[in-house]
Structures are given as structure tokens and as C-alpha cells.
Amino acid sequence: MFKKTLAACTILLLGNTAWGQSNVTLYGIIDAGIGVINNQAGKSVVQVQSGWVWGSRLGFKGVEDLGGGSSALFVLENGFDVDTGALSQGGRLFGRQSFVGLSNKDSGTITMGKQYDPVFDTLSGADITVGGGEAGLLFAHPFDNDNTLGSITAQNSVKYTSQKMGGFTFNGMYAFGETAGAFATNRLFGGGVNYNAGPLTLGMTFERISKPGANIYGAAASDQSSVASGQEIWGVGARYLAGPLSMGAAYTSSVLDTPVSSAYAGTLAANLQRLKFQNIEINAKYQLTPAFSALGMYAVTLGKFNTVSASESQTRQQFAVMLDYFLSKRTDLYFQTAYQYVSGSNGGGIPRQAQIVGAAFSSGPSQAVLRIGLKHSF
């Protein structure tokens, strides 16, 4: 009897293998470097920093061929700090991405879980903005106010991504708030469109979050986003390739209604009614040799703060440069530096103090960061 049962189980297992051809890939990035910040709360500091270019991560992804041009897929990806070994993203096991879905070569792809939002997919995913693409924190817009760095990965989300049609690709997302009796609380919806024709890539996106950060389990978790009664983001951008030179430009707008706090800026003024950021970025990358490239960015962020009694404005200008040399296909050495200067109002909820993403506030209107790092992918 035992032998018959064992034989039946073996046949079932072999049969399952034959029905669906699947594969699972283990992948990851380890990014570590030494950084020098000239002014952090009035003092300079030297740090070993993890994941400032590409967040250090360990992931699993798999695809199963279902036949007829269809497939099932999944991604489970965590983030961690190389310098301490601790989990990132609030200690979540798979805090960067965790989703499952179905894809068809004609109809597109639908996925469900925790995943990047339309703003990130449309602008950073197409390398139009470089902070969330290949350059990381020192190239991010202040406080990642428009999420082009990808600080928020939408929880409880359903996302559709089309196949390429006449140069166009479309994406759309709805992420549930999951609050009983308050359907709209901490929900997210939005979409984007990209157009690619030869050397030219265009992108346009829109996104709305109702009561972001209202809780830890909604679309925009309270430890990864701003806390406000609402947030609206939209952006447009373009990228152009000319031989070894690539150039990008983007404009984004981010409006927070009744903001309370920011994941990067901390607690805001109690009387703040509206906070608006307008970001303008231009960037250029030159591939000097197949292994060596230089990247530069200039970004200006115009902030407007509306309080109960006044309207104030603030401007943050940021310059950043990156030199990247690949020792192999998987390993590269890089140098980065960034400088930010703040002018305008010293009130309105955010002080006139510089803060490059990844560093704490400086004690004055300027801040500089220099970093040398090593990144390995597998």
C-alpha cells in the first residue's frame, strides 16, 4: 500500500512539473559607501551608508508559462541596511515590493499587492527623473514630495500595465484604504502614459491619495508617507538619447491639504492649511566609455505654504553629480556629491534649513554631501 501511495504522489509531482513551465530567480543589490555631510544639525558627520544609490535588497521573482501567450508572475522583495543588517521599510519582511499577477502578450499585465505607484513607474521607471532610477537619494527632490524616489510603495493595490501599442504604454492603479466604514480613507488611485519613439521618451502621470498616512495598513502607510487630509501629484517629462549622451527634463506638482507631518521633514506647523511643491528637474548623462559614465542634475523646488493668516514661499535649489565606473557587469564603484541651498521664508511649517534626502536638517540654508560607494548586483 505504501509503495502504491508513493508512486501515485510521484506521478502527481511529475505531472505538475509538466503542466506549467516555471522558474524562480533569486536576485539582489548590495550598495554601501562612506558619506560625509558638512552640516547635520550644525555639525559635520562621516557615516557608512547603505542603499543611497540603489536600495540594498534581496528578492525572489518567478514566472510560470500558462500557454497561449499568458503567464503567472510574482515578486517578493525586501530592503535592508548593509551597515547594520536590519530590515528597512519599517522592518517589513518584503517592504519594497510584494505582488502576484497575470500577464498576457496582447492584453497586458495585472498585479495585486504592494507595488510602485503610477508616478514612479511613469517618470522614474522610464529614467526621465534620475533620483528613483539610477542615482538615488542625493538626486531626489526635497522630502521626496512627489514620490519620484519611490518612498511610497502602494499597499493593497491593483495595477494594470498595458503592452506597447504604437509607441504608447499605459498604467493605472487603485489601492484600497481598507478602513471599515470609511472607504475613501487612505486610498490611492492614478495612472500614467509613456510614449517611446526611437531616442525620445515622454511621460505624463496623475495620482490622488485620500488621507495619506492615516494608518499603517492603508494604501500609503503612515511611516512611509506624509500625513495629510489629501495629496495630489501630477507630472510630465521627456528623455532624449543622442549617441552617448542622454538628457532628461521633468516638471512635477505635489499638493498636500491640511498637512500634519512628512516622513522626511517631520512634524509641520499646526496652522498649516496647504502645502504645494513644484519641482523642475533637468539632467544629463554622458557615457564616456562602455564602463565609465558621468551624470549631472539641477533641480529647483518652489514651495508655497498657506497658513490660517498668511501665504509664504520658499525655494530649494539642488545640484548633484555622479561618476560611475563598472568593474564588471555586476559591480561598480561610484562617486557622488550634492549641494542644496534654501532661500525665502523661514516660516510656514518648514524652516529655511537645507535637507538633502538621506541626511538630517542642516542648521542653516545650505548643505553638502560627498559619497564614495560600491554596488554589487546579483
Name the helix (H) or strand (E) containing 283: strand 272-287
User: Does pTM top 0.95 for this prediction?
Assistant: no
Separation of alpha carbons 33 and 374, rounded Å: 6
Separation of alpha carbons 366 and 374, rounded Å: 27
Q: Which residues pair with 372 in a beta bridge?
A: 34, 335
Q: Which amino acid is at 277?
A: F
Plot region of 10 (φ>0 → left; ψ -120 to 50 → alpha; else → beta): alpha
Q: pLDDT tens digits for 203-254?
A: 999 999 999 999 999 999 988 889 999 999 999 999 999 999 999 999 999 9
pLDDT of amino acid 14: 37
Sorted by sequence, the CB contacts under 8 Å of residue 5 that are 6+ apart come out as none
Q: Which amino acid is at 18?
A: A
Cell of 254: 505635489
- Chain-centroid distance of CA 300 in Å reads 19
Separation of alpha carbons 253 and 82, rounded Å: 34
Per-residue pLDDT of the chain (378 residues; tens, 9 = 90+): 434 443 443 333 333 433 456 799 999 999 999 999 999 999 999 999 999 999 999 999 999 999 999 999 999 999 999 999 999 999 999 999 999 999 999 999 999 999 999 999 999 999 999 999 889 999 999 999 999 999 999 999 999 999 999 999 999 999 999 999 999 999 999 999 999 999 999 999 999 999 999 999 999 998 888 999 999 999 999 999 999 999 999 999 999 999 999 888 888 888 889 999 999 999 999 999 999 999 999 999 999 998 877 889 999 999 999 999 999 999 999 999 999 999 998 866 788 999 999 999 999 999 999 999 999 999
Separation of alpha carbons 334 and 336, rounded Å: 7
Q: pLDDT tens digits for 20-47?
A: 567 999 999 999 999 999 999 999 999 9
Question: Alpha-carbon Rg of the chain, whole angstroms?
Answer: 22
Separation of alpha carbons 291 and 259, rounded Å: 45
| 3-class SS of residue 182 | coil
